[in-house]
Chains A and B, each alone.
Chain A
Amino acid sequence: MSDITSQSLFELTSNIKEKKLSSEEITKAYINRAEKSKKLNIYITDNFEKAIDQSKKFDSNPNLDFKLPGIPIAVKDLFCTNGVRTTAGSKILNNFVPTYESTVTQNLWSQGAILLGKLNCDEFAMGSSNETSFFGNVQNPVGENLVPGGSSGGSSAAVAANLTPVTIGTDTGGSIRQPASFTGTVGLKPTYGSCSRYGIVAFASSLDQAGPMTKNVRDCSMLLEVISSFDQKDSTSIDYKRNCYSKELSKDIKGKKIGIPKEYRVDNMPDEIEQLWKNGISYAKDCGAEIIDISLPHTNYALPTYYIVAPAEASSNLARYDGVKYGFRSSGQNLIEMYEKTRSEGFGDEVKRRIMIGTYVLSSGYYDAYYLKAQKVRQLIKKDFDDAFSKVDAILTPSTPSSAFKIGEKTNDPVSMYLNDIFTVPINLAGLPGISIPAGKDKNNYPLGLQVIGKPFDEQNILNISYALEDKINFKNDISDWWLSE
């Protein structure tokens, strides 16, 4: 048996079910590795003591029918966890301990999983490099001083560094898929409405969606199966029959029509990304899929549209952090002064920037030109996909326009940072499922990802295509454990 922390979720659950490993052994192995991995700055809050207690409790009376029997899992610190501090990577929630549990995390615990701790992320999930976190940046285990992507940077790094077998992140414009791509891991953003948003600190309500982040596609299907559920507490949750994704997982994609959108061939795209995409196409052909050239004509407008819609919703969603009810409060001579000081001191620059953009685009006199126009363009982008999906079963694109960059490289250039999301935001705007799988490396040996985009509620199909491609690609994420301390 290989080292515990390098095992996949599938292996770990098998080993538990076959009683080859106990929950306590597994939990302690992850904790032990975490203790030596502080340099990565992956955890905001750990739950190690309670996790060990819970693993012992599980072992004393193991329920092996669970889908995640005694499996320790760390989650992004955007999910509210009952009794465990939840910060959203922000000073303004530094001291906030929820008395309730998000539906998605509850789904994990209901299937036997154990909370290891809360993972670092960009403040309120606003960022593409995990550098906006109040709790400091995260190191990408792939290489020193490299960003792990964002906003689910702690999550991607934790999976890549074997600090959690799997995790869940959230994706508003690429926050699962881009960090997965940067760390050589798998990340899936489900169809909007698949996973409940109840108990997830909101960034942009019409775009936010939780999803699995894993070492491989099979684990991804296993985790999606657990977290995806209809929830009456979320009015945008959709009641439909969900697949048993792991059971129905198949590499047989013969005859599947896969679209290649010409608009994703952007200017200045590095050759290695172009090559990666070509390789993906040829692997898909090898698997018997049919490749079809398609057009998504409004792709160019996706990024500006996203940077109007998302900040607009965020400016309103973040109004509740005012120092009155919970979280950080600064003192002031009167209510207005208290608000101003609390929010000035409590929010970081990127969050403030987006609140200001959002406030501006919703202001009277600008609303029509920005917010309303953006909503119309959003409909056109959605229609592009509807049209494309009348011809194809899935769409294949690169996940990101580049590999992971150096820490600090883009912090002073927000627009260049925003361009990271160019291939991922259209999918959020259209509410579609998308998955990023590791597909190759650049000249620095940094991972690169390919994205498979599906029809609404067609997660099974993109999982199957990814599963088939994964087999052909045979990616190896040789990480050297350079950060480990004794």
Chain B
Amino acid sequence: MSKNSEYLIERENKQYEVIIGLEVHAQVTSESKLFSQSSTKFGAEPNTQVSLVDAAFPGMLPVINEFCIEQAIKTGIGLKAKINKKSVFDRKNYFYADLPQGYQISQYKYPIVGEGKVILDMPNGQKEIGIERLHLEQDAGKSIHDIDPNNTLVDLNRSGVALMEIVSKPDLRSPDEVNVYIKKLRSIMRYLGTCDGNMQEGSLRADVNVSVRLKGETEFGTRCEIKNVNSIKFMQMAIISEANRQIDLLEEGKEIDQETRLFDTKRNETRSMRSKEDAHDYRYFPDPDLLPLEISQELIEKIKSDIPELPDEKKKRFIDKFNLSPYEATILVSDIETSNFFEEVIKNSDVKLATNWITGELFAVLNEKNLEISQSPVSAKNLSKLINLIKDGTISGKIAKTVFEQMIDGDQDPLIIVKEKGLKQESDPKAIEELINKVIENNSDKVAEYKSGKDKLFGFFVGQAMKESKGKGNPQLINKILKEKLNG
């Protein structure tokens, strides 16, 4: 990355670098929970998706959901990571009302996935972020403190839902990189179908580790962990706020305490949750109810063979095959739905136009209406028809925009719109000549000015001719004939 794009926080001639590592908790896409058969569907009535295992009744035993294991392996492959053929489920012991067993089944010493990497496309080029590990664990239930004034209520629907904890190396250096990293992780998992990445539903959350150091230092500073941040915006805010808090302390000559902090979104500040001294002793030990998890090479190979084309590979193909710029390709592959939409559109239409229309008009509409591309008001089929109308000269780009605006309303067929509204482009030289004659006649003073050297007026005549044609005149033809008439 070039120097001028470095994210540094300045203090009286000093520049501080911010070091960030993320522990992302991604909910595994799976019909049932990690160790029980209850449903994981979001939004159900409280405590309706709870089995005896999830509620930790006496004598209940966990049984591994093999699908979740496969999802973790798949994700590991997507992160170009080492899949550990032997991993172990441990118990992380602590008491809380929404943790029915009194321990969370997680993986501590021996995670299912080891080191990997994620490539970020930053404005100044690519950056590689190391992945430390990925492990599987159970989610806890939810404590609800604000319904009953005297009691805390507990909803165990989430209890036992499978999570992947993806731990990055401390390779991130700015809120922007965090933004791109989370989006990239999300994109990879959505390509793989292993996590829907829905942050509103809590499918993706992160613990953010932040430390600071003077630019040029090689040792890491003392880090603080900000727990359970559930949106990219809040992660960025929390990082900025926490980094500045740490720098202020250093500037005052104080030490930073290693601690766990919470981000208060309303006050835009982090506050201490517990110090290192108060850190829980989780008393991890291998769960005796579960045998060590052994994964065969055959299973890994089988999963590998089912891995779809991932964003990095797809981007390369788009650049090589369709001659897209890296920037365009990055945008189009960022989300699997987008790239699928794009590939659908270009099956029968021009790549360049499709790229411009998707990243331009379509994205603008989606943004404005706050829609995902999967909810696009214009289908890939109709968009490709529109592009073909432009390409074959039936309509101009400008008319196309009018047509597009109408298509949004109920995914209408552009052919029908053009026909019904008579928007077909006028490409008959005779008709164009006629209307140009009319423009020249009505503007004899301007013609004289033009001929005496005021070249800039050419645009005025184009505009008038276009107006006369009610926007339907073929722009190339208008240009050509106007030139002949005025210069002749």
Which residues of A are interface residues toward B (Cβ below 8 A)? 79-80, 86, 88, 93, 96, 98-100, 102, 197-202, 204-206, 232-236, 312-313, 315-316, 318-320, 322, 324-326, 335, 339, 359, 362-364, 367, 371
Contact: B102 with A359, CB < 8 Å? no
7 more contacts with CB within 8 A, not counting A235-B64, A326-B57, are A102-B59, A204-B288, A235-B61, A316-B91, A319-B93, A325-B57, A325-B100
Query: A235-B64, A320-B101, A362-B93 are contacts. A201–B58 as well, Cβ < 8 Å?
Result: yes
Give the residues in chain B near A235, CB-CB below 8 Å. 61-64, 289-291
Instruction: Say if the beta carbon of B52 comes within 8 Å of chain A.
Output: yes
Instruction: Say if the beta carbon of B56 comes within 8 Å of chain A.
Output: yes
Q: Which of B59, B63, B96, B290 contacts A202 (CB 8 A)?
A: B59
Contact: B63 with A232, CB < 8 Å? yes
Q: Tell me the bound Cα distance from A315 to B59 in angstroms.
A: 15
Q: How many residues of B contact A (CB 8 A)?
A: 30
Contact: B281 with A320, CB < 8 Å? no
Instruction: Say if the beta carbon of B55 comes within 8 Å of chain A.
Output: yes
Majority SS at the chain B contact face: loop
Instruction: Say if the beta carbon of B234 comes within 8 Å of chain A.
Output: no
Which residue of chain B has the shortest Cβ distance to A334 in the bound complex? B152
Instruction: Say if the beta carbon of B103 comes within 8 Å of chain A.
Output: yes
Query: A80-B59, A88-B58, A322-B95 are contacts. A205–B288 as well, Cβ < 8 Å?
Result: yes
Give the residues in chain B near A232, CB-CB below 8 Å. 63
Give the residues in chain A near B67, CB-CB below 8 Å. none
Give the residues in chain A near B55, CB-CB below 8 Å. 325
Contact: B57 with A197, CB < 8 Å? no
Interface set, chain B 259-310, CB cutoff 8 A to A:
281, 283-285, 288-291
Contact: B103 with A319, CB < 8 Å? yes
Give the residues in chain A near B59, CB-CB below 8 Å. 79-80, 98, 102, 197-202
Majority SS at the chain A contact face: loop
Q: Tell me the bound Cα distance from A79 to B58 in angstroms.
A: 9
Q: Tell me the bound Cα distance from A80 to B100 in angstroms.
A: 18
Contact: B285 with A367, CB < 8 Å? yes
Contact: B283 with A100, CB < 8 Å? no
Give the residues in chain B near A200, CB-CB below 8 Å. 59
Instruction: Say if the beta carbon of B154 comes within 8 Å of chain A.
Output: yes
Q: Tell me the bound Cα distance from A320 to B94 in angstroms.
A: 10
Contact: A319 with B281, CB < 8 Å? no
Query: A100-B52, A236-B291, A319-B95 are contacts. A359–B63 as well, Cβ < 8 Å?
Result: no
Contact: A233 with B289, CB < 8 Å? no
Contact: B100 with A320, CB < 8 Å? yes
Q: Tell me the bound Cα distance from A272 to B183 in angstroms.
A: 76
Which residue of chain B has the shortest Cβ distance to A101 in the bound complex? B59
Which residue of chain A has the shortest Cβ distance to B285 in the bound complex? A362
Contact: A98 with B285, CB < 8 Å? no
Q: Tell me the bound Cα distance from A371 to B281 in angstroms.
A: 15
Contact: A339 with B95, CB < 8 Å? yes
Contact pattern, B 89-122, Cβ under 8 Å of A = 1, otherwise 0: 0010101110011110000000000000000000
Give the residues in chain A near B62, CB-CB below 8 Å. 235
Which residue of chain B has the shortest Cβ distance to A232 in the bound complex? B63
Q: Tell me the bound Cα distance from A170 to B290 in angstroms.
A: 20
Closest CB-CB distance, A89 to chain B, in whole Å? Answer: 12
Which residue of chain B has the shortest Cβ distance to A234 in the bound complex? B61
Which residue of chain A has the shortest Cβ distance to B94 in the bound complex? A319
Give the residues in chain B near A325, CB-CB below 8 Å. 55-57, 100
Q: Tell me the bound Cα distance from A324 to B100 in angstroms.
A: 8
Q: Tell me the bound Cα distance from A339 to B152 in angstroms.
A: 14
Give the residues in chain B near A201, CB-CB below 8 Å. 58-59
Contact: B102 with A320, CB < 8 Å? yes
Q: Give 13 pairs: A residue, B residue, CB < 8 Å, sorted on A.
A: A100-B57, A198-B60, A199-B59, A201-B59, A233-B61, A234-B63, A319-B101, A320-B56, A322-B102, A362-B93, A362-B283, A362-B285, A364-B281
Contact: A93 with B58, CB < 8 Å? yes
Most buried by A among B61, B63, B97, B290: B61
Smallest CB-CB A-B distances: 5 pairs: A319-B102, A205-B288, A362-B283, A206-B288, A199-B59
Contact: A98 with B57, CB < 8 Å? yes
Query: A316-B93, A319-B95, A320-B102 are contacts. A80–B289 as well, Cβ < 8 Å?
Result: no
Contact: A98 with B58, CB < 8 Å? yes
Contact: A197 with B285, CB < 8 Å? no
Q: Tell me the bound Cα distance from A88 to B59 in angstroms.
A: 11
